[in-house]
Amino acid sequence: MRRISKTEYVALRKKGQSYMELPVHDENLQSEYDSTWENLSVFLHQSPEDIRDWQLNRLSYLVDYAFDNIPLYHKKYSEVGYKKGSIKTWADFYRLPYLRKEELIEGFPGEIVKDIDDFMLSTRSSGSSGKFVTIAVSQEAIYKDTLQTIRQFYMQSGGKYCADDTILFIYTCPWWVSQIKGKFVQDFLPTTTKVEDAIERIKATRPRYISTYPTYLEKIASTGVKLSDYGVELVIVHSEQSDKKQRKMLAKALNVEVLDEYSSEELTRIALECPNHHYHLEEDACFIEIIDKDGNKLPDGQLGIVVGTNLLNTATPIIRYIQGDLAKITTEENCECGNNGRIIEGVKGRNMDCVITDTGERIPASCFMDIAYNWFLVYDIPVHGLKYQFVQPEVGKLDLYIIEGEYSLQLDAIKETIYTLIPRTTQLNVYKVDKLPYDQGTKYRPVISLVGR
Ligand SMILES: [Zn+2]
């Protein structure tokens, strides 16, 4: 199998970034918006049966596409006797084998794309297993995802979001495109931004919407500001577990609405909390199933493991992928918001620890996950297949354990990146290991704090 060298891997991403800055995408997005918004905006208002029919049709196309073009799927589906065009019913789809993250990692690069150059547009996830995987993303998926961002804010704001509004993303890295013809502007700040600086930006630019981590929002709230004073109406939180009570308190403290988003790099938007506080599945972004630990499909109402199929991306198709979080689907309830996306409940798996510095500052796990993510994006350290875990044995000390992936690492370079987050006085050790200290079959956690245990 053809390998992809470190420099080639980094160069491809750079090429992809400049490619997406070309003005042609602005034109394309505008025409995609013009031709699809009317249907897209009401897609989830269709009857559940119509949504289901559309999904089966899309899944049938995706599976055939993957079988024809992606070596991993050709092999995997051939082994179970799959023939092109044979997904006609849901039972046909449910016969397909599940996809594990390991398969994507082992299949990199040549087995999980049609063409190695497809990695020009790619994304990385360390997700629920903590092991980095690189996935190629199609341009078409980026376009659709961009329009679904518009729909997300339209839906979660109760129809208030409009083309002249700005959304401030305080996040790991900016989205591929930052506006469409000067409208639907997405402003960006990295999560490594000092909270005072973020507040200054909010004061100066007055975004109507903010999207960030709940722990970052807590830091904003701890300064005592009322975001409503600066024109903010709604904050969307994501990536980490936050419960209803916590969001309610934040909403009260900041005098804005706070709603949740459940998403992952592999599956994009999974479910969004509507103004009535139900999590509706984004049925045209991904198709979600719930299974038990033996792989049996569970009926609605039972708690199990989330399995998802990405309905947008064909560059590295993600089909019946074991996401690993726990949740259940309820179809009993009808929501007054008019969204007929199935309702998902009890999502678990995003609980995180904090690291405490010797000055008493609490740095949330998401910041460390961001740094790990940025090893590649900012510091050009290739991470595919790499797995890591931060362990804080006591205040003032931090240990990082790394299992090398596809590429060999320079630990000093990694160490420097972590010092952008913690004080230099912290005693930081980085170890290359074969096995992470806390990874015994239970859900992987990227940051473990032993302080006070
Ligand atoms: Zn609803």
Domains of the chain from N-terminus onward:
1-350 (3.40.50.12780), 354-449 (3.30.300)
* Whether residue 44 has pLDDT greater than 80: yes
How far, in Å, from the CA of 88 to the mean position of ligand 1? 30
How far, in Å, from the CA of 359 to the mean position of ligand 1? 43
How far, in Å, from the CA of 260 to the mean position of ligand 1? 13
How far, in Å, from the CA of 38 to the mean position of ligand 1? 20
Share of residues in the chain with pLDDT > 90 (%): 67
Average pLDDT over residues 55-59: 98
How far, in Å, from the CA of 289 to the mean position of ligand 1? 20
How far, in Å, from the CA of 254 to the mean position of ligand 1? 23
pLDDT score of 453: 64
How far, in Å, from the CA of 250 to the mean position of ligand 1? 21
**pLDDT band for position 443 (50/70/90)?**
low
Backbone angles phi, psi at 306, to 5 degrees: -80, 125
Average pLDDT over residues 376-382: 78
How far, in Å, from the CA of 158 to the mean position of ligand 1? 10
Q: What is the DSSP letter of 316?
A: S
64-117: per-residue pLDDT in tens?
999 999 999 999 999 999 999 999 999 999 999 999 988 998 999 999 999 999
How far, in Å, from the CA of 334 to the mean position of ligand 1? 8
Angstrom CA distances, 80 to 73, 278, 320, stand at 11, 38, 15
Rg (CA), the chain: 22
How far, in Å, from the CA of 70 to the mean position of ligand 1? 37
Average pLDDT over residues 388-408: 90
Average pLDDT over residues 174-193: 94
Pairing of strands 166-171, 185-190: parallel
How far, in Å, from the CA of 282 to the mean position of ligand 1? 12
How far, in Å, from the CA of 240 to the mean position of ligand 1? 21
pLDDT score of 277: 93
d(CA 323, CA 290): 10
How far, in Å, from the CA of 277 to the mean position of ligand 1? 7
How far, in Å, from the CA of 274 to the mean position of ligand 1? 5
Share of residues in the chain with pLDDT > 70 (%): 96
Average pLDDT, the chain: 91
How far, in Å, from the CA of 331 to the mean position of ligand 1? 12
How far, in Å, from the CA of 151 to the mean position of ligand 1? 14
Residue 35 is which amino acid?
A: S
64, 67, 69, 72 alpha-carbon torsion, rounded to 10°: 150
How far, in Å, from the CA of 332 to the mean position of ligand 1? 13
How far, in Å, from the CA of 361 to the mean position of ligand 1? 37
Residue 260 is which amino acid?
A: D
Average pLDDT over residues 366-377: 81
How far, in Å, from the CA of 342 to the mean position of ligand 1? 10
* Whether residue 338 has pLDDT greater than 90: yes
pTM: 0.85
Q: How is residue 161 written in tokens?
A: 């979001």
How far, in Å, from the CA of 430 to the mean position of ligand 1? 46
How far, in Å, from the CA of 436 to the mean position of ligand 1? 41
Close Cβ partners of 387 (under 8 Å, ≥ 6 residues apart): 126, 129, 130, 131, 132, 402, 403, 405, 436
